[in-house]
């Protein structure tokens, strides 16, 4: 079975083209000002309009207020909201109901103690993104190039689809998939030549590695 790929933090038209050519199932746009991958609503709208039909457009937001979400969805044609902050399950459910879009909740994992929360979020989300927990005092909630012990996920299943993230690169993603059984993976910094700058060759190499090319 092929593994679906989400290329996140895209900010240039060339990024969209490379991701589509590589067979992306999802593309992600970051709406978090501190990130080197952040895009404005105008940039995101233009990028989203260039995404081929059949590729889901994901908006990454961090502890968003309702007013910002209203503006975001009024201007950018997104398919999924990715909540990548400290949103509690009640807030996730509230956003999902209010905005009328599928919601993907990112959950940071460092050790086995972090796994319990996954069940709570699975009850209120359409998808989960299992990521490496950022270091304390980190400026970014994700995209830090960190991984976690993938053995923690071996054999585990949840009632909604989930996506593996955190420190994935063309050189380790195949092993990560084999160890976790992930059917979806997310990559951002692992296909960059420098922070925020996607490399088309790495994008294609990642896709080839994911599916055993």
**Domains of the chain from N-terminus onward:** 4-210 (3.20.20.70)
- The pLDDT tens digits for 172-188 are 999 999 999 999 999 99
Q: Out of 8, 63, 114, 126, pick the active-site residue.
A: 8
The pLDDT value recorded for residue 80 is 98
Q: Out of 131, 139, 186, 208, pick the active-site residue.
A: 131
φ and ψ of 177, to 5 deg: -65, -45
Strand extents, DSSP E, 133-194 = 162-164, 184-187, 192-194
8 catalytic? Reply is yes
Whether pLDDT at 136 is above 70: no
- Quick one: pLDDT band at residue 134, thresholds 50, 70, 90? confident
Mean pLDDT across the chain: 93
φ and ψ of 104, to 5 deg: -110, 120
For a pLDDT cut of 70, what percent of the chain falls above it?
93
Whether pLDDT at 29 is above 90: yes
Looking at the DSSP bridge assignments, the partners of residue 12 are none
Looking at the DSSP bridge assignments, the partners of residue 106 are 129
- Dig out the tokens for 152 from the structure: 């923690």
Whether pLDDT at 26 is above 50: yes
- Dig out the tokens for 109 from the structure: 């994992």
- Quick one: pLDDT band at residue 128, thresholds 50, 70, 90? very high
Non-local CB neighbours of 140 within 8 Å, separated by 6+ positions: 32, 34, 35, 134
Whether pLDDT at 142 is above 50: no
131 catalytic? Reply is yes
């Amino acid at each position: 079975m092929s593994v679906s790929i989400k290329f996140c933090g895209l900010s240039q038209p060339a990024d969209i083209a490379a991701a589509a050519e590589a067979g992306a199932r999802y593309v992600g746009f970051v709406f978090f000002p501190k990130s080197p991958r952040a895009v404005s609503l105008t940039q995101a709208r233009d990028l989203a309009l260039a995404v081929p039909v059949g590729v889901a457009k994901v908006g990454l937001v961090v502890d968003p207020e309702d007013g910002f979400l209203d503006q975001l969805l009024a201007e950018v044609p997104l398919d999924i909201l990715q909540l990548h902050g400290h949103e509690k399950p009640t807030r996730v459910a509230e956003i999902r109901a209010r905005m009328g879009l599928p919601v993907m909740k990112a959950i940071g994992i460092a050790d086995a103690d972090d796994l319990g929360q996954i069940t709570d979020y699975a009850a209120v989300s359409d998808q989960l993104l299992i990521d490496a927990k950022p270091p304390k005092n980190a400026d970014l909630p994700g995209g830090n190039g960190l991984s976690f012990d993938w053995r923690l996920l071996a054999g585990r299943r949840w009632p909604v689809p989930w996506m593996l993230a955190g420190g994935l690169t063309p050189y380790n993603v195949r092993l990560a998939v084999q160890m976790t059984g992930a059917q979806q993976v997310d990559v951002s910094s692992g296909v960059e030549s420098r922070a925020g700058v996607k490399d088309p060759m790495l994008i294609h190499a990642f896709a080839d590695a994911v599916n055993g090319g």
